[in-house]
Amino acid sequence: MDRPGIIRKSAAELRVPPNLADYAATRAAFSWQAVRAELAGLPGGGLNIAFEAVERHARGPLRDKTAFRFLGAQAKRDIGYGELSRLTNRFANVLKSLGIGKGERLFLLSGRVPELYVTVLGSFKNGTVVSPLFSAFGPEPIATRIKLGEGSVLVTTELLYERKVEKIRAELPTLRHVLLVGEDGQATNIPGTLDFGTLMAQASDVFDIVPTDSEDLSLLHFTSGTTGTPKGAMHVHGAVATHYATGRYALDLHAEDIFWCTADPGWVTGTSYGIIAPLLHGVTSIVDEAEFDAERWYRILDEEKVSVWYTAPTAIRMLMKAGAEIARKRSYPNLRFVASVGEPLNPEAVWWGKEVLGLPIHDNWWQTETGGIMIANTPAFDIKPGSMGRPLPGIEAAIVKKDAEGKVSPVDTADTEGELALKAGWPSMLRGYLHNEERYKKCFAGDWYLTGDLARRDADGWFWFVGRTDDVIKSAGHLIGPFEVESALMEHPAVAEAGVIGKPDAVVGEVVKAFVSLKQGFEAGEALRLELLGHARKRLGAAVAPKEIAFLPSLPRTRSGKIMRRLLKARELGLPEGDTSTLEAG
């Protein structure tokens, strides 16, 4: 099949008039103040995400409309906007009764069950800051984040508590309460914990939202860097303006849409777009409680009549691998827009969408720190497969370079590679890294927020992802900090040093590969390799642990003692080793 470098769109292909029809005119007329004016605001003044997302609709004509449809293992459960309001009021009352106040931090460790969604939105109502953890994390990443975030409350499930939290509980002195969601709705009875269902049943379903304003914290999302502990990106209630505008322009949400965001709320996409943005637009969201399964996913797209689908490159590549025949057993007449985020989306995947689903996949770009989509391919515009698209209205993006004096300025010439930067000031921009002001300051140069990604802009204004400026690993769309993995490996008595890299993989983008050297008296071999893999998996969990481990007599280090991951990677891939002038003499 002929695959030109551009997919041209025609007005006839569009099922509904696109929200972003005229890119230049919308950008020129756009202001964040105007978006803010479309939001209701709290009745007594101020701004709260839960009021915009839930209360506004629960008090109006959408009160009986389904907000979420949960597809559980056994049954489906629909929760309407009115019911969501009452449930989240109950949870806000639960927090209040436990003495949890505004600004305190609640951690969440759970699969995609209704209680998770109620907890997030109920916490917003109480002014409590939510920090979601990915349920496939092991005990170490969980403990590190709760300690850093000084969590007061943890909401988790009975099973996850027993498997992952019980053994680290003593390390978490700030944690005053642990609320457990029982299996199959059964009450739990584990010492030192409270039963979520019982507390909810006792609480009133009437609650006055605690006054918050646009600069009050709403979410704390941990993200990984190259060195040191994870960074807690702090987000505010005012971010809701970005969620609203990007729901409109990047995801093209219309009131009648059935929307499915496949991201887990343990990561930023799953909260900004799996919870907040669709509610703001009063649409119905599908939540699949199960893990990936190609046949199931096609069935959901078909039977649930999904019209807008937001997913990720790894998932698309897994569907591609499963073969087009499964896809063709079903039909998707309601599907009108498919978007993807989190990793580079290969042109083949964009075309696969067109050939198999009848719609190309629209890549978009953003990161934990930006809080919302910044650069996107939207329904009305031509797609250049392989490109992330163009900056949304309200967003100024540039490729920047540092001069000899360290001054950062935008590069005007097209097709020049450099760091991707965004003009600071959009509403969902992070407000800091918790307890790490220094690292936060490093994100900025003058007016520019520096993304840590390398990209280029073509002559037409489309942005193309090139790579990262650092060593973080993207595996199945999840950012993994090599330092966290290295530290866990170093805890094993046999390991002298560890260096961790992302090794390219055709399906998940990168897999975590570790190189270790051993202490005197230990011998490299299959048994030890398996033991180390098991050790890392037990501590870090499946989402973070290395998939491959190789032994080296010693690891390359800089003269200042840092492990040269870049060199490990170059050697692994058989690439030129680049500048090794700082390499310690071997």
Binding site for ligand AMP (CB under 6 A): 223, 268, 341-345, 363-365, 367-368, 388, 451-453, 465, 468, 474, 479
Nearer to ligand AMP (CB atom), residue 111 or residue 270: 270
User: Which residue in the block uniquely carries the two structure tokens 């039909």?
Assistant: 331
Sequence-distant (≥ 6) Cβ neighbours of residue 467 within 8 angstroms: 453, 454
The count of C-alpha atoms lying within 13 angstroms of the C-alpha of 68, restricted to the half-sphere facing its C-beta, is: 29
- Amino acid (1-letter code) at residue 559: R
Nearer to ligand AMP (CB atom), residue 130 or residue 200: 130
Residue 203 neighbours by CB distance under 10 Å: 20
Nearer to ligand AMP (CB atom), residue 54 or residue 443: 443
User: Which residue in the block uniquely carries the two structure tokens 């890549």?
Assistant: 363
Q: Least distance from C-beta 577 to ligand AMP, angstroms?
A: 23
| Distance of alpha carbon 337 from alpha carbon 88, whole angstroms | 30
| Burial group, residue 197, by CB count within 10 angstroms (0-12, 13-18, 19+) | middle
Nearest C-alpha neighbor of 563 from the set 535, 536, 582: 582
Sequence-distant (≥ 6) Cβ neighbours of residue 201 within 8 angstroms: none
Q: In what order do the strands lie in the sheet with 509-518?
A: 495-505, 509-518, 548-551
Q: Least distance from C-beta 299 to ligand AMP, angstroms?
A: 27
Q: What's the gap between Cα 241 and its chain centre?
A: 18
Q: Least distance from C-beta 433 to ligand AMP, angstroms?
A: 12
Nearer to ligand AMP (CB atom), residue 94 or residue 383: 383
Q: Least distance from C-beta 436 to ligand AMP, angstroms?
A: 16
| Distance of alpha carbon 283 from alpha carbon 281, whole angstroms | 6
Q: Least distance from C-beta 428 to ligand AMP, angstroms?
A: 13
Query: What is the Cα Rg of the chain in Å?
Result: 24
Nearer to ligand AMP (CB atom), residue 172 or residue 420: 420
Nearer to ligand AMP (CB atom), residue 211 or residue 452: 452
Q: Least distance from C-beta 12 to ligand AMP, angstroms?
A: 28
Nearer to ligand AMP (CB atom), residue 472 or residue 563: 472
Nearer to ligand AMP (CB atom), residue 258 or residue 388: 388
The pair phi, psi for residue 307, each rounded to 5°, is: -105, -35
Nearer to ligand AMP (CB atom), residue 156 or residue 223: 223
Q: Least distance from C-beta 455 to ligand AMP, angstroms?
A: 8
Q: Least distance from C-beta 421 to ligand AMP, angstroms?
A: 12
Q: Least distance from C-beta 298 to ligand AMP, angstroms?
A: 23
Nearer to ligand AMP (CB atom), residue 241 or residue 268: 268
First to last CA, the chain: 52
Two structure tokens written together for 435: 């307890």
Two structure tokens written together for 105: 């931090």
Nearer to ligand AMP (CB atom), residue 349 or residue 357: 349
| Distance of alpha carbon 102 from alpha carbon 210, whole angstroms | 8
For the chain, give percent helix, strand, coil, nearest 5.
Answer: 35, 25, 40
Q: Let me know: does 365 contact 388? Beta carbons within 8 Å.
A: yes
Sequence-distant (≥ 6) Cβ neighbours of residue 454 within 8 angstroms: 417, 418, 419, 420, 465, 466, 467, 468, 469
Planar angle of CA 322, 324, 326, nearest 5 degrees: 70
| Distance of alpha carbon 250 from alpha carbon 263, whole angstroms | 16
Q: Least distance from C-beta 420 to ligand AMP, angstroms?
A: 8
Q: Least distance from C-beta 306 to ligand AMP, angstroms?
A: 21
